[in-house]
């Protein structure tokens, strides 16, 4: 009890660095437009996370919605995480000294004065091993990200030194449950995290087909960090399990209750909900009468326990609200990210006050996890 009180006191003192332990927050990805403080209050969330695609800063870093939103959330008293996304889907990582490399540094130089010492956690990278071509995921990737990290570390030292509010993490690693992804580049990524005293740890994104598949992530990263380092989980879900169900028939119980053809597939039911949102009762019934979902409705609690039991989780943030990208062009092959969301404004009609309705399964567990 005394240790808990000391930790809470330390967190309340500010502006000293935030040394979060096992917090659960709200992840919005790039959808800054979805931040609604009514949702956050209902869920009792205290942390929010956004990412910013770095090329978009060319239109003005101070005016970018993700930057404005994360700073505004901090002013509203929330703890904040911003991940920096460098997408290279059609080219290799730029080499030092080239115009393309200098452009990346210029983007950083425009952003850092806005966020350094004003947000709580800055994540250097979003999903480097997905946001690049497979043939480029070699040591060039490491060289680039290490150079970006060096620029950030240098700026933080000049701006606010060791007492800086903003902590630094490298992120994020994906699908470490698959041996093909345990490459020399990933090993060097972890070597850099461990060897760099200014880095507080690593971010992981366990989007997985089963909760058991998250354990290899922990088994890989924890022995490869310094004992005092922590890890972030700014994205996690069972999305690959949900996707596996999309071409399966809708549950007979739901079909009977709502007069849906028993030949309908899950993706078709979800598509109809996106075209004309269901009542909350109908959406809740759709999920609760589907054994593939109902048997996993406490995934959030079970997964957080695995993360927290390590004693080294800093912050995890879970998919908080159905965004526009989740609903666009929905069909049988669309990844059903929208099932993850705590709030479901795309598939459920809004509440009477215009606020978003919550998914029956996630909201209570999300609130309960704020108290642990």
Give the tens place of pLDDT for each residue, 6-62.
333 333 333 334 456 799 999 999 999 999 999 999 999 999 999 999 999 999 999
> For residue 16, what pLDDT is reported?
38
pTM of the model: 0.94
Residue 134 lies in a domain: yes
Domain membership flag for residue 10: yes
Q: What is the pLDDT of residue 50?
A: 98
Q: Does any domain span residue 40?
A: yes
Domain assignment present for 353: no
Crossing angle of the two packed helices 99-115 and 139-159, in degrees rounded to 10? 40
User: What percent of the chain has a predicted confidence (pLDDT) above 90?
Assistant: 93
Query: Whole-angstrom Cα distance, residue 236 to residue 242?
Result: 13
Q: What is the DSSP letter of 355?
A: P
* Mean pLDDT across the chain: 94
pLDDT in tens, 129-158: 999 999 999 999 999 999 999 999 999 999
Q: Which domain holds residue 123?
A: 2-239+298-323+364-371
The secondary structure of 257-269 as a DSSP string is HHT--TT-BHHHH
- State the total domains in the chain: 1
User: What percent of the chain has pLDDT above 70?
Assistant: 94
Per residue in 314-343, pLDDT (tens digit) is: 999 999 999 999 999 999 999 999 999 999
Residue 345 lies in a domain: no
Residue 321: predicted pLDDT: 98
Asked, for residue 287, whether it belongs to a domain, the answer is: no
Residue range 182-212, pLDDT digits in tens? 999 999 999 999 999 999 999 999 999 999 9
Whole-number pLDDT of residue 5: 38
Cα torsion 256, 343, 332, 177: sign = negative
- Please report whether residue 54 resides in a domain: yes
pLDDT value for 86: 98
The CATH number that applies at residue 86 is 3.20.20.80
Q: How high is the pLDDT of residue 372?
A: 66
**Cα–Cα dist 267/291, whole Å:** 15
In a domain, 258, yes or no: no
């Amino acid at each position: 009890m005394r240790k808990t009180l000391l930790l809470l006191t330390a967190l309340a003192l500010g502006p000293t660095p935030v040394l979060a332990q096992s917090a659960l927050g709200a992840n919005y990805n790039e959808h800054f437009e979805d931040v609604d403080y009514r949702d956050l209050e209902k869920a009792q969330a205290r942390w929010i996370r956004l990412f910013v695609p770095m090329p978009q800063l060319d239109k003005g870093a101070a005016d970018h919605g993700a930057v404005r939103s994360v700073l505004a959330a901090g002013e509203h008293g929330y703890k904040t995480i911003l991940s920096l996304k460098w997408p290279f889907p059609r080219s290799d990582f730029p080499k030092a000294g080239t115009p393309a490399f200098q452009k990346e540094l210029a983007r950083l130089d425009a952003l850092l004065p806005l966020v350094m010492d004003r947000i709580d956690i800055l994540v250097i990278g979003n999903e480097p091993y997905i946001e690049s071509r497979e043939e480029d995921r070699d040591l060039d990737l490491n060289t680039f990200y290490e150079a970006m990290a060096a620029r950030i570390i240098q700026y933080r030292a000049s701006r606010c030194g060791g007492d800086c509010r903003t902590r630094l993490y490298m992120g994020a690693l994906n699908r470490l449950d698959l041996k093909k992804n345990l490459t020399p580049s990933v090993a060097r990524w972890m070597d850099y995290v461990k060897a760099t005293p200014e880095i507080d740890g690593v971010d992981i994104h366990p989007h997985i087909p089963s909760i058991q598949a998250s354990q290899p992530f922990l088994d890989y990263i924890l022995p490869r960090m310094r004992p005092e380092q922590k890890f972030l989980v700014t994205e996690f879900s069972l999305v690959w399990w949900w996707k596996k169900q999309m071409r399966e028939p809708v549950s007979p119980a739901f079909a009977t209750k709502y007069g849906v053809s028993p030949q309908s597939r899950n993706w078709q039911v979800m598509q109809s909900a996106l075209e004309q949102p269901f009542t909350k009762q109908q959406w809740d019934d759709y999920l609760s009468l589907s054994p593939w979902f109902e048997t996993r409705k406490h995934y959030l609690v079970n997964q957080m326990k695995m993360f927290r039991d390590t004693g080294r989780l800093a912050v995890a943030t879970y998919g908080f609200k159905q965004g526009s990208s989740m609903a666009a062009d929905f069909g049988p092959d669309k990844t059903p990210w929208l099932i993850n969301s705590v709030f479901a404004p795309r598939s459920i009609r809004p509440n009477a006050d215009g606020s978003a309705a919550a998914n029956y399964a996630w909201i209570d567990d999300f609130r309960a996890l704020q108290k642990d």
